[in-house]
Amino acid sequence: MYYTIDKIISDVRSLMNENPATEALIECEDIATLTLNAKIESCIERCVKEVEMSAPVELLEPGKSLNGSFTLYPEDENGLMGGFMVLPDDFCRLISLKMSGWAYQLSTVVTENDIEYHAQKSEFGIKGSPSRPVAAIIQSPSGLILEFFSVTSGDDVTMEKGQYLPIKKIGDDETKADYRQIDISEKLYEEVCRVALRQCVEFRV
């Protein structure tokens, strides 16, 4: 759901009025209204990302589709193979991924720093399979890459479901409907305002 920046600023300031701990922040003569409003606005994108990255996936909105093509690795001795795809530039978080043949979809991933990731590349260790899929997001020279393990080899491997949460930005094009608005999951809006309030208090301190 799109919220105007003016509404977010107003709601954060309302929380300040309700919180005795921020009374000094509001009344302090060296923090003018415009300065405080600018501080709130400057942290909105960061607060949205912080809240939506840590929220349970069921509180997020559907997001965008992973429409890019993927490349498959050669099959292993068990007739299974993994694959990868380069993620979009606006990728923030995986919402769901299900490759053909998987028993269930994933919403959580491992990283290149996790032991489970290195097990996928090793001769030893527990590897992903159609009944126990594993996905990872890693850094590469070309950007973020999504790897998946494992699918049954064949020419009919497909991505049955792929959704991601994009990085949220304040609209800055006056000709578009989202000018000075930002998309926030409706279920997380109040938490975004609370995080913005906390950051403003920390800014003052």
- How far apart (Å, rounded) are the C-alpha atoms in residues 129 and 9? 48
Burial class (CB in 10 A: 0-12, 13-18, 19+), 51: buried
pLDDT, tens digit, 9 for 90 and up, residues 96-125: 999 999 999 999 999 999 999 999 988 777
Please state at what angle helix 189-204 crosses helix 5-18, rounded to 10 degrees: 70
pLDDT tens, N- to C-terminus, the chain (205 residues): 999 999 999 999 999 886 655 555 555 544 556 688 899 999 999 999 999 999 999 999 989 999 878 999 988 887 888 999 999 999 999 999 999 999 999 999 999 999 999 999 887 778 899 999 999 999 999 899 999 998 987 768 999 999 999 999 999 999 999 999 999 999 999 999 999 999 887 755 4
> Do 81 and 72 form a contact (C-beta atoms < 8 A)?
yes
pLDDT, tens digit, 9 for 90 and up, residues 14-31: 998 866 555 555 555 445
Q: What are phi and psi for residue 143, nearest 5 degrees?
A: 120, -165
At residue 3, the 3 state secondary structure works out as strand
Q: What are phi and psi for residue 4, nearest 5 degrees?
A: -75, 150
What's the pTM?
A: 0.87
Of the candidates 22, 3, 4, the one whose C-alpha atom is nearest the C-alpha of residue 61 is: 3
- How far apart (Å, rounded) are the C-alpha atoms in residues 52 and 123? 36
Structural domain spans, the chain: 2-60+185-204, 64-166
